[in-house]
Homo-oligomer: A and B are copies of this chain.
Amino acid sequence: MTEVEQADRFARAREAQSVALIEDYVEMIGDLIAELGEARVADIAERMGVAQPTATKAIARLKRDGFATSRPYRGVFLTEEGAELAERVRARHRTVVALLVAVGVPEEIAELDAEGIEHHVSEQSLKAFEDFLQGK
């Protein structure tokens, strides 16, 4: 492996990481809307395990990036792009957990590890996981 290839690999991991938080927020806002009919800042903060101003700031980035909208003192909503991302992220999360369980990871551990792993699973790997799970 050349230096450049290695550098690209690390750059890719860094990029995936920068998207990870966005993905988790978007997925979770989708969950809240599905469960409660709305996503309030306080609920988002509680589920993410962060302070409320931290959630507010993250939501501002989601809005800036076109994944969400919100009005002051009202809830947070997903844009079409945000809703699509949430759906992809949710499906990938399920697949990753299923793959981990399929190779012998206990359910509980699989859920824990998947929360981080999912953001680094490429489309190609995801496809391989699905094929493996279907016994192909």
Contacts and interface: CB of A to CB of B under 8 A. Distances in A.
B99 A103 contact: yes
Contacts of A48: 7, 10
Contact of A49 (B10, B46, B113, B124): B10
A113 B100 contact: no
A33 interface: no
A85 interface: no
Copies in the complex: 2
Interface string A6-27: 1111111100110010001000
Contacts of A110: 125
B109 A125 contact: yes
Contacts of A132: 103-104
Interface in A91-128: 99-100, 103-106, 109-113, 115-117, 119-122, 124-125, 128
A48 to B, nearest CB: 5
